[in-house]
Amino acid sequence: MILWLAALIGLASLAALIFSAEKAVDKILALCHHFGLSTTFVGLTIFSLATSLPELFAHVAASVGILRGTLDYDVASATVVGANIGSDVFQQTFILGLVLFIAGAARFSKDFRRTAFYPMIGAAILVWILGLNGVLSRMDGVILLIAFVAYMAFLYFHKDKHMHEHHDETDKTVETPRKDTLFAALFLTIMLVSAHFLLESIEAIVAATALDASFIGAITLGVASASPELFTALSALRKKASGISWGTLIGSNITNPVLALGVGAVISSYSVPYAVWVWDLPLKIVSALILIPIIFFSAKHMIGRKTAIYLIACYALFLLVRILFFAL
């Protein structure tokens, strides 16, 4: 693909992604009010799954290519695994920090920590343990998928705690839930297609480089594939639906490493890049663990702009070490 054409497609895809994220949030907020669901619960389920579809489809495409012999096993593995974990690190540090800085403050309640924050850390630890031998086997993929199903069941059986709780906005009367559902599905689909073309354009731009595949995956594809979460979180914040922002960002950090990696590993298995095992995942885990005492000892479990700066600094550290030691 010609460079200028790739850039043009990327810009058009980015614009479509921003527009569709805005509209999808509108429609799903209306459905939240209609069914009495909290925005946090919807962020953890619907939005986390929808915004993780680019990563999921990237894994399926890469794994099928590995099986067919059209993609090199090590290069394809490094690219998609690096992109997956790189996307998670970007969301958990930079995007979460950015949204928190814009919001000014956020309260991570005991229930939110139990149903979302701790499972996010557990998902990263599980992937790190399974990858200790340098491979995510088909059996490892099955374990990850079982963990994902168990987490979805956990959320389902605790859904009553998210019903009829305080919403971020004044309740509205919604008379067309079927229409809102159809439009929400349409805009989520547009988000998915837009993210796909954005990924394709970035792949074309970096294809000629001699950089390590996992580095390209973590720094470029990982950031691009996190774009649905970024624009969903920012759009929800503008609409005073902060629950969707936190739920989407934390939920995607559970869905991405467990569901997407699990599906890909079941299809073809993966080799785990050394940099992902020794740096990306440990930084993701440790940066989240440090947040626990920060949240616990803060007044009313409220975190603010100081914590946001800490999170953004974590991503800066991630980039610095990645560039200095794991780029080639």
- How would you write the pLDDT of the chain (328 residues) with one tens digit per residue? 566 777 788 678 767 766 776 677 677 667 766 776 666 777 777 777 777 777 777 787 778 888 988 878 887 888 889 889 988 999 999 999 999 999 888 888 888 899 899 999 999 999 999 999 999 999 999 999 999 999 988 887 876 554 444 444 444 445 578 888 888 788 878 866 776 676 566 556 656 555 565 676 677 666 766 777 777 788 777 777 777 788 888 988 999 899 999 999 999 999 999 999 999 999 999 999 999 999 988 888 889 999 999 999 999 999 999 988 887 7
Q: What pTM value is reported for the model?
A: 0.79
pLDDT at 167: 46
Per-residue tokens: 246? 């936190």
Q: What angle do CA 60, 65, 70 make, to 5 degrees?
A: 170
CA distance 192 to 94: 22
Residue with the two structure tokens 């000629």: 208
Q: What angle do CA 141, 144, 147 make, to 5 degrees?
A: 150
Domains of the chain plus CATH, in order, are 3-325 (1.20.1420.30)
Query: Under a CB-based contact definition with an 8 Å cutoff, are residues 39 and 29 in contact?
Result: yes
Q: At what angle do helices 177-206 and 3-35 cross, to 10 degrees?
A: 150
CA distance 51 to 49: 6
